[in-house]
Each structure stands twice: as C-alpha cells, then as structure tokens.
C-alpha cells in the first residue's frame, strides 16, 4: 500500500519502519523528528497525496484535529485516515465526521504495548470505525501488531483504550498500597505475591508487572523503575478518562482518585519520567498523613 505516516516520534518511527520492512511504500512527515530509514515528505499534505492510508501518531487531540483539517481535503477519495494516537473520544469522533464530509474513511486505533511493542511489531490495536475502514487497515495491524479488536463505530477505539487504562491505573495503585500495608504488617513481599497472584486480588499489575523489585516476572521495578510506561503517560490517559466521564455523566470515583494521585506524583513531585509502578516506593516512604 502507499502509506503516509505523520508523527515519527518514539512510537511512530518504529511503526513506520515495520511497514517499510513489510514492503509498503511509506512517506513520513514530522515537524521535529527526522528518524533514519524512513523516506520523508516535506509537508504533511505531501505525505498524504495519493496515499491509500494515512497514519497519524501524534501527541494529543488538538494536534490531531489540526493535522486532519490540513490533510483531509488532499487525500484521495475512499482512502483511510488511521489515527493511532491516544486522544480524547470527542476529537476522534470530530475527525471521523470531518473525514466523512471529505469523502474519506476515518479509523481511530490507539495502541497498547509501548515502544517495545512498536519496535517488535507486537502492539494491540483497539479500533473504532466502519467495517470497510477496519477491513482496509487490518493488514497493516497485522504488520505493526499482534492483535486488533474492532470495538464499534468511530471513537470506540479511544473509549476502549481509556477504560482499559483507567482499570490499569486503579489496580496499580491498589497493588502498590497493598504491598505497603503488607510491609507494615510484617508480611513478606514474596509471600504476599504468592498468595495474591493466585487469589482473588490478582491482576495484570500484580501478576505481569509486579511493582515490587525482585518479585514476579521481570518488570520496570527491577530496573530502578525506569519506564516501561511512564507515570506522565498514565496521567495523560487518566485525564482523558475523566474528560470522557464528565462528558458522558459517568460516575467514576476510583478513576478520579487515581487521576488525582498520579497528578500529585507527576506534577507536584516531579516523578513523571518514572515508571507508573513507582507508586510503590512513593507510598512506602510515607505515612498515613
Ligand atoms: P512522541 O512525542 O515521541 O511523538 C510524537 C511526534 O509527533 C513527535 O515526533 C512530534 O514532533 C510529532 N508532531 C507533533 N506535532 C506534529 C505535527 N503538527 N505534524 C507532524 N508531526 C508532529 O510521542 P510517542 O511516545 O510517539 O506517542 C505518540 C502517541 O502514542 C501519543 O498519543 C501517546 O499517548 C501514544 N502512546 C504512546 C505510548 C508510549 O509508550 N510512548 C504507548 C501507547 C500510546
């Protein structure tokens, strides 16, 4: 396929390289980054002309909307704008409506799997959009990822992503605070892991990404909490979840509490570049007040 790829940062560059390695004809564009191994166009519009699919991998919804407004009028009729950024549901739905007016198809497909998944082609895609749009980009999901779930119409990919990451933020905090309570009650961390990982308190945060160093499978806690998944990115997703919850009048008190704790951790305590599981040493260094 002829593919335009806009946003060649930590995630976009390795995703674009995997598409090139699979034989696709890629033209990339980024306002700041000029990564090796990707043919570059001089503008976003140039990268989009004649493309069968234009992929965007951008920082936020505002930038996505601006780029979409710029490229949609120049994309060929029936082509697909595949946005893989994590943005607010509202922006994804607005971009999809604008795409329809321009005679093109929008698919929102945020990813999970991080930079490792982008590099190794093992991302999971959560897609929103029409059946036809999903079918067109499915072969690209196969190259860039290991799994793609079609979650429904436009915006539903973003909805799935923020619901998943709201659960992740909440369970990580619950797991970290339970370890600290266990410490203070004299319960060995390994014993705590052995019980919880095979009991009803188990979760991905405990079993696959244990925040306690030296316990469970290898995770960022074993590497001084270097990310992994940075706390600042978790805060971004928890903010998006609360934005969506407010708009939809959904009662999400635990999601709100997790957002507030990560906001404190990132904004007040300057720990945004630590892995999000570094909540464990944070709690361990504090008392109740
Ligand atoms: P990044 O900041 O490394 O990359 C974003 C790129 O977009 C940058 O290179 C920037 O120069 C470029 N850009 C900004 N404005 C632009 C414009 N108008 N036109 C063209 N390029 C522009 O971020 P990233 O880590 O690659 O993340 C990209 C998206 O993926 C974000 O929405 C993020 O939330 C999401 N995401 C990231 C991870 C991760 O682990 N990094 C995991 C899952 C999802």
Give the N- to C-terminal CA distance of the chain in Å, as an integer. 58
Instruction: Compute the distance between CA of residue 244 and CA of residue 265 in angstroms, rounded to an integer.
Output: 22
Is 9 close to ligand 1, i.e. is its CB under 6 Å away?
A: yes
Q: How far is the CA of 59 from the centre of ligand 1 (A)?
A: 4
Burial (CB < 10 A; 0-12, 13-18, 19+), residue 21, is exposed
Residue with structure tokens 């990580």?
172
Mean pLDDT by 10 residues, the chain (289 residues): 97 98 98 96 97 98 98 97 97 98 98 93 98 97 98 98 97 98 98 98 97 97 95 98 98 98 98 98 95
At 218 the pLDDT is 96
Which mutation among 4, 6, 28, 58 tests ligand 1's pocket best, with the greatest number of atoms within 8 A of CB?
58
Q: Which atom of ligand 1 is nearest to the CA of 66?
A: 18
- Which residues, 6 or more positions from 161, have their beta carbon under 8 angstroms from its beta carbon? 86, 110, 112, 126, 237
**Is the CB of 211 within 6 Å of ligand 1?**
no
Closest ligand 1 atom to 63 CA:
18
| 68 touches ligand 1 (CB under 6 Å) | no
Output the pLDDT for position 289: 82
Angstrom CA distances, 12 to 33, 49, 83, 85, stand at 10, 19, 11, 9
Which residue is it, tokens 């925040």? 211
Residue 284's pLDDT is 98
- Residue 85 vs residues 69, 180, 187, 200, 208: alpha-carbon distances, Å: 16, 35, 42, 34, 25
Residue whose CA is at the smallest distance from ligand 1 atom 34: 86
State pTM to two decimals: 0.95
Check the CA dihedral 201-288-219-270 and report its sign. positive
């Amino acid at each position: 396929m002829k593919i335009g790829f806009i946003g060649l940062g930590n995630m976009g560059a390795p995703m674009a390289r995997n598409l090139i390695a699979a034989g696709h004809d890629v033209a990339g564009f980024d306002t700041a980054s000029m990564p090796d191994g990707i043919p570059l166009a001089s503008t976003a519009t140039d990268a989009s002309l004649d493309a069968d699919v234009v992929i965007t991998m951008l920082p936020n919804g505002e930038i996505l909307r601006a780029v979409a407004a710029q490229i949609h009028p120049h994309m060929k009729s029936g082509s697909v704008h595949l946005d893989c950024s994590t943005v607010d549901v509202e922006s994804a739905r607005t971009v999809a409506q604008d795409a329809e007016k321009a005679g093109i198809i929008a698919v929102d497909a945020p990813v999970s799997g991080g930079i490792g998944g982008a590099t190794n082609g093992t991302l999971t895609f959560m897609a929103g959009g029409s059946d036809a749009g999903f079918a067109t980009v499915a072969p690209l999901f196969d190259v860039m990822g290991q799994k793609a779930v079609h979650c429904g119409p436009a915006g539903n990919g973003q909805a799935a992503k923020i619901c998943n990451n709201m659960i992740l933020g909440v369970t990580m905090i619950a797991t970290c605070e339970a370890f600290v309570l266990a410490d203070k009650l004299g319960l060995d961390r390994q014993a705590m892991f052995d019980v919880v990982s095979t009991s009803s308190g188990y979760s991905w945060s405990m079993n696959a990404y244990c925040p306690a160093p030296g316990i469970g499978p290898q995770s960022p806690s074993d590497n001084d909490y270097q990310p992994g998944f940075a706390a600042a990115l978790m805060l971004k997703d928890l903010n998006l979840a609360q934005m969506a919850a407010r708009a939809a009048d959904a009662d999400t008190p635990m999601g709100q509490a997790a957002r507030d704790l990560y906001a404190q951790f990132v904004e007040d305590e300057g720990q945004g570049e630590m892995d999000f599981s570094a909540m464990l040493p944070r709690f361990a260094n504090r008392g109740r007040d």
